[in-house]
């Protein structure tokens, strides 16, 4: 492990006994090249993902089914090719993770079921208040609601709804694949796991700025409102990105972040203002507070790495001699 110019960034160097030092393996420019390769690779992935949404020329708004179908095609192509960027990064930096590329990106069987259930449960606990609010405002009782949710016809309607597919399936899967599974393995060796949790979401937040251009194009609101909304969305998506990056590192799986992303897309941002004006605001606000409290209390236990087996990113850092990464224990 070598320090990068005294700025706190660290470079992971895992090499075989017969290999030359990292600078030699990289052709001589020095270890700083590795971090620049990592940042440039992440930036390229973010630009490619967003750019794929605009390869189709159309005068229709983004929620039109024809636009959504075309974007499905392009974003799925980019997401499918994104692991090649990680493979190229590995070749350029000479870093050997000691595991397969798919395992490093969170595609593995060990600890799969806990990784699918526990992060989603933790996220639902955080949304206890909004879930109570939804149940209070829903005209049907719990039994009727379960019948609707479990009915095959309901799922058939969802699977033919382009907006539902985008928000609940395609966007969570492709965004988590690109912005978590691909970017975190490239950033973590350079910055360490902790800083990577907060660095990776910056690419995710900036990627959502493209909504500004669409809103300005179709004049959906005033310019001031559009930019204010974009700033709020950047903040919200950055915080959410840090949370799913944390889940990815602590569980070593992609499935948890994807399911949590889908759930959060369904719930939307908590309607706190509506809760303050709700006829039953006292129990509702208590539910909000209880949900946040339980979330903070259960965050560490439900993401304990011991529940999920060997963590690929932690193994990557351990091979470099960094066995004290706090997120790994």
pLDDT of residue 318: 76
List CB contacts of 103: < 8 A, sequence separation 6 or more. Answer: 312
In a domain, 18, yes or no: no
Percent of the chain with pLDDT over 90: 47
In a domain, 328, yes or no: no
Looking at residue 177, what DSSP letter applies?
I
Does the annotation mark 214 as catalytic? no
* Average pLDDT for the chain: 82
pLDDT of residue 123: 98
Q: Is the pLDDT of residue 27 over 70?
A: no
Q: Could you tell me if residue 28 is left (phi over 0), alpha (psi between -120 and 50 degrees) or otherwise beta?
A: left
pLDDT of residue 70: 93
Give the integer Cα–Cα distance in Å for 220 and 222.
7
pLDDT of residue 163: 94
Q: How far is CA 304 from CA 133, 216, 237, 248, 250, in A?
A: 30, 44, 24, 12, 7
SS3 107: coil
Exposure on the CB side of residue 163, measured as CA atoms within 13 A: 6
In a domain, 139, yes or no: yes
pLDDT of residue 25: 33
DSSP character string of 287-325: HHHHHHHHHHHHHHHHT-GGGT-S-HHHHHHHTTT-TT-
SS3 111: coil
Give the integer Cα–Cα distance in Å for 115 and 109.
10
77-107 pLDDT tens trace: 999 999 999 999 988 888 888 889 999 999 9
Give the integer Cα–Cα distance in Å for 37 and 11.
12
List CB contacts of 181: < 8 A, sequence separation 6 or more. Answer: 105, 106, 107, 248, 254
Question: What confidence tier does 45 reach under pLDDT thresholds 50, 70, 90?
Answer: very high
Percent of the chain with pLDDT over 70: 78
What pTM does this model have?
0.84
Least confident of 242-256, 289-303, 305-319: 305-319
In a domain, 82, yes or no: yes
List CB contacts of 82: < 8 A, sequence separation 6 or more. Answer: 45, 48, 49, 177, 178, 182
Q: From the candidates 22, 110, 208, 211, which is the catalytic residue?
A: 208
Question: What confidence tier does 321 reach under pLDDT thresholds 50, 70, 90?
Answer: low
209-251 pLDDT tens trace: 655 666 656 556 666 676 677 677 778 888 999 999 999 999 9
pLDDT of residue 6: 37
Exposed, middle or buried by CB within 10 Å (0-12, 13-18, 19+), for 6? exposed
In a domain, 19, yes or no: no
In a domain, 13, yes or no: no
Question: Where in the sequence is the domain holding 119, given as residue range(s)?
Answer: 31-320
Q: Look at residues 118, 103, 121 and name the one whose alpha carbon lies nearest to residue 314.
A: 103
Domain count, the chain: 1
Does the annotation mark 59 as catalytic? no
In a domain, 307, yes or no: yes
Q: How many helices (H) and strands (E) does the chain have?
A: 18, 2
pLDDT of residue 145: 66
155-213 pLDDT tens trace: 888 888 999 999 999 999 999 999 999 999 999 888 889 899 998 888 877 766 655 66
In a domain, 2, yes or no: no
Q: From the candidates 18, 64, 110, 175, which is the catalytic residue?
A: 175
């Amino acid at each position: 492990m070598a320090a990068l110019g005294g700025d706190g960034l660290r470079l992971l160097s895992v090499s075989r006994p017969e290999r030359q030092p990292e600078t030699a393996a990289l052709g001589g420019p020095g270890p700083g090249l590795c971090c620049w390769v990592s940042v440039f690779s992440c930036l390229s992935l973010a630009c490619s993902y967003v750019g794929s949404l605009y390869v189709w020329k159309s005068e229709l708004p983004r929620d039109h089914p024809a636009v959504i179908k075309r974007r499905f095609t392009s974003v799925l192509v980019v997401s499918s090719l994104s692991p090649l960027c990680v493979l190229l990064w590995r070749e350029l930096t000479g870093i050997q993770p000691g595991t397969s590329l798919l395992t490093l990106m969170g595609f593995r069987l060990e600890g799969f079921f806990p990784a699918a259930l526990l992060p989603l449960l933790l996220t639902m606990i955080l949304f206890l208040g909004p879930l109570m609010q939804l149940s209070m405002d829903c005209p049907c009782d719990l039994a009727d609601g379960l019948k609707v949710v479990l009915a095959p016809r309901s799922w058939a309607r969802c699977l033919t709804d382009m907006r539902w597919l985008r928000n609940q399936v395609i966007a969570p899967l492709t965004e988590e694949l690109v912005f978590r599974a691909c970017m975190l393995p490239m950033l973590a060796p350079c910055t360490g796991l902790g800083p990577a949790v907060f660095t990776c979401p910056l690419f995710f937040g900036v990627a959502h700025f493209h909504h500004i251009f669409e809103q300005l194009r179709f004049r959906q609101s005033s310019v001031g409102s559009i930019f204010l909304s974009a700033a709020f969305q950047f903040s919200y998506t950055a915080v959410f990105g840090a949370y799913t990056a944390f889940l990815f590192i602590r569980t070593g799986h992609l499935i948890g972040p994807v399911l949590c992303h889908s759930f959060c897309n369904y719930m939307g941002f908590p309607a706190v203002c509506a809760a303050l004006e709700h006829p039953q605001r006292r129990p509702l606000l208590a539910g909000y507070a209880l949900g946040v409290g339980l979330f903070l209390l259960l965050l560490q236990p439900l993401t304990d790495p011991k529940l999920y087996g060997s963590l690929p990113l932690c193994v990557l850092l351990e091979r470099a001699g960094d066995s004290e990464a706090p997120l790994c224990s």
